[in-house]
Amino acid sequence: MNQGNNKYLKMDLLRFTTAGSVDDGKSTLIGRLLYDSKSIFEDQMEAIELTSRNSGEDEVNLALLTDGLRAEREQKITIDVAYRYFATPRRKFIIADTPGHIQYTRNMVTGASTADLAIILIDAQKGVLTQSKRHSFISTLLQIPHLVVTINKMDLVDYSQDVFEGIVADFRDFASKMDVDDITFIPISALKGDNIVQKSAHMPWYNGPTLLYHLEHVHVDAVRNLIDFRFPVQYVIRPNPSFRGYAGRISSGTIRVGDKVTVLPSRLTSRIKAITIYGGETEEARAGDSVVLQIDDEIDISRGDMIARSNNVPHFSRSFDAYLCWMSAEPMELNKRYLLMHTTRTIQAVVRKLSYQIDVDTMQRKEATRLELNEIGRVSIDTSMPLFLDTYRRNINTGSFILVDPDTNVTAGAGMVRKAVQVEMNGPVVSPVFVEGLSLKLEDGTGKTETLWGHSQPEPVEEAEEQAKQSGEIDVSEWNRRLYTKRSTDVIWAPSGVSREERERRNGHKGMVIWLTGVSGAGKSTIANGLELLLWEEGKQTAILDGDMIRGGLTGDLGFTPEDRKENIRRAAHMARAFLEHGTIVICAFVSPFHEDREMAREIVGPSDFFEVSVYCDPETAMQRDPKGLYALARKGQIKDLTGFDAPYETPRQPFVRLNTAKMTVDESIAALRRKLLV
């Protein structure tokens, strides 16, 4: 029994939401899942059978299992968000049954905000309706990675394959405008049970999975951010003078004993000494775990502070842009003080600007002066104190927030961060200098000494140079060849007289940086050139930055060591940023073999404007193509450190798009990438 319980507790959890138009059968579908998976108690079944008979219905109304409000039962609609729980031997599930009526859009946002998957129901008799599009768009806006489009009531169209394929074609055409990677189409009858748990005998032409099978096997961990460690401190535990721990739930990422961390906002650094979970200590914890962290050093840490990895910290900002769904009957007011709740912090904030409202039926922007109930818009927000932010696309937990009306204590809006303005943090700040390929030991302003390799390093520069020359770590000629650049803390990015927003408005599209990475021969430059031509013919403002182009001039002084590659990418990213600020779509094609370097480029450009594209093929195909003859030279030993041959390449972990050029033609790759770009 205990082993069974332990196994049950270790099962993973899938949160999913259902949405669609009115009377598409959402509640019936959930009732069918609960009924066919044997997740209903006998007294519950007897109660809904009695209610169905009293209502004069011929069949048991399984929707009554989720429609809990009296008004819902009487009108046979869903009004509130209904949460239900069930489990199979393979997985646990939490379902959010959300309403279909347009006036309950805010309820749909609430139910979908924590979902890993969304089920969009479409009535086979009606096809793709406006409300189906509305809920699909909101699902993608909330970054739900998996969509399951269930064409319901197939029994009422004689289980027609033509009807099913027609609806699939219509939805795919609409979905090409959205940002979604995974869409699965399943023909069902929630009332009759076709393709819910068991395969339907009425649709032999359908070879896909049943709905429950898909829910049991869809990969959940892939959508969780296990890269960016974020730990908002909820409580400081001090049971005795010898123990100080920081309790909370890991929002994202993983952490191990011994990892170096930075505490925000103080920016003081330390290392993880111990990680305690329920039942004892552990060497590692990950996103979703509730833990108590202990660190090596005595640092003043309070509720609302955040602990992050030292080489991967969030934006520290008092101003940011966001998508805001308005959830209050009182319209949004510009410059009114609201309470903003973000992770474990609650501070004051004002909405300074409403850039536009989004018509969720057509996904078009339109001018607006305020947001009404259930409306969604792009806003600019200022806060009374800096927040530790990531973009919502990168990190849902640290990229989301809610606004509360302080006069009524009502939740006024729910937001998703799109872009943050970085500000200088308080704490030990030193004037850095980039020293290429040099090992130095310097004071960092906190009294500690650390060995730094090719990263930002503190002053004094002249003293560091002299010490390096005298120590023999680097000779004078090498020092003179690798000129370093002093970075002044007084340098501020100064926008031109024409703002980026004005340029984008004239261009008719937003600027972005599309970063294609892959080994030589994978097809980066070919795809980049083809994509630019396609966008140019559409009237877009474009620019291409290619590895050979950059190395022919701007980075001609660099070699191919890891340090030189890093500097090459740093300079290229800054050039891409300059083009971006002029509203241009910048297409970059660089080998950029190291994950750390690509993340540096993302931070330089801005995470919300950086789209990493993995262009890959098997090594044999790349060597066979060998467009520049590099592999032939490497085999002869005439060149060394060729990425993919005798130098490593780190595959992107969570790219915007993956293009397998061994299986896709150039045109297919360009088309697949173009479909993903919301421009």
User: Hey, which residues are catalytic here?
Assistant: 592
Contact criterion met (CB below 8 Å) for 14 and 116:
yes
Q: Is 439 left (phi over 0), alpha (psi -120 to 50) or beta?
A: beta
CA–CA dist 559, 548 (Å, integer): 12
Instruction: Tell me the three-class secondary structure of 617-675, residue by residue.
Output: CCHHHHHHHCCCCHHHHHHCCCCCCCECCCECCCCCCCCCEEEECCCCCHHHHHHHHHH
DSSP 156: G
Reported for 526-530, long-range contacts at CB under 8 A and 24+ positions apart, including other chains, are: 526/666, 527/589, 527/615, 527/659, 527/661, 527/666, 527/669, 527/670, 527/673, 528/587, 528/588, 528/589, 530/666, 530/667, 530/670
Q: Kindly compute the dihedral angle of the four CA atoms of residues 542, 547, 549, 552, in this order, to the nearest 10 degrees.
A: 160
The amino acid occupying position 667 is D
Q: Which helix (H) or strand (E) holds 94?
A: strand 92-97
Alpha-carbon span 673 to 666, nearest angstrom: 11
Phi and psi torsions of 192, nearest 5°: -90, -15
Q: 427 and 266 in contact (C-beta within 8 Å)?
A: yes
Report d(CA 310, CA 190) in Å as an integer: 51
Distance CA 247, CA 236 (A): 6
Output the DSSP codes for 68-90: -SHHHHHHTS--S-EEEEEE-SS
Q: How many residues are there in the chain?
A: 679
Rounded Cα distance between 636 and 144, Å, is 49
Question: 275 - beta bridge partners?
Answer: 282, 293
Please say whether the beta carbons of 431 and 487 come within 8 A: yes
Q: Before 209, cis peptide (omega within 30)?
A: no
CA 128 from centroid of its chain's CA atoms: 27
Radius of gyration from C-alpha coordinates of the chain: 28
Is residue 200 within 8 Å of 194, Cβ to Cβ? yes
Q: Are 558 and 567 in contact (CB under 8 A)?
A: yes
Q: What dihedral do alpha carbons 167, 172, 174, 179 form, nearest 10°? A: 140
Nearest to 122 by CA among 159, 98, 155, 150: 150
